[in-house]
Amino acid sequence: MTLEQNWNRIRETVSRAGHCAIASIDEHGAPTIAPIGTVFLRDDTTGFYFDQYAQALGRNLDRDPRVCLMAVDGRPLYWFRSLLTARFPSPPGVRLYGTAGPARPATEDEMRQVRARVRIPVRLKGGALLWSDFSQVRDITFTDYRPVRYPHMMSHLWQ
């Protein structure tokens, strides 16, 4: 199945993961990866993330916009149940491939989405320091995907 045909399942998988990792290529041609907790996927095989702290990622993308985003469901209860039943109830993870655009000011709708995601932790001292100053985003256009696969426990997933 194509990226478009699986997009809803991909969006659900990324949403459950919470935090993602975005891989890029540094100035020496070496792969590097950055954890990003503010990735949002749209309806149309695109997404965006808030480009606040990952300065090295931004520099890499300005030079080479290719990315691989990986999202894995890390909830302990999800894994416990899956291991107990020997079956994943939903995809455990996905890799998305695409290109990132230049940094730009976030729209009001994008700001609303990130405020909704951090509404509880931003009330804490550390949360306020980390998540109260978002303003820039980068769009990502995805062109392909690969499920995170574990043999035997997920033959019923990803056609």
Residue 129 has pLDDT above 60, yes or no: no
Residue 131 has pLDDT above 70, yes or no: no
114 burial level (CB within 10 Å; 0-12, 13-18, 19+): buried
Provide the pLDDT for residue 70: 97
Q: Which amino acid is at 109?
A: D
The rounded mean pLDDT for the chain is 89
Q: What is the pLDDT of residues 67-93, one digit of tens each?
A: 999 999 989 999 999 999 999 998 899
Q: What is the pLDDT of residues 7-43, one digit of tens each?
A: 999 999 999 997 899 999 999 999 999 999 889 999 9
Q: Which amino acid is at 21?
A: A
Residue 128 has pLDDT above 70, yes or no: no
pTM over 0.85? The answer is yes
Q: What is the pLDDT of residues 132-143, one digit of tens each?
A: 677 899 999 999
Q: What angle do CA 92, 116, 158 make, to 5 degrees?
A: 20
Provide the pLDDT for residue 116: 81
* Domain 7-47+55-102+138-147 in CATH 2.30.110.10: yes
Reference 153, options 89, 79, 88, 74; nearest CA is: 88
Give the residue-averaged pLDDT of 58-66: 96
Fill in the DSSP letter of residue 118. T
Provide the pLDDT for residue 83: 93
Provide the pLDDT for residue 122: 63
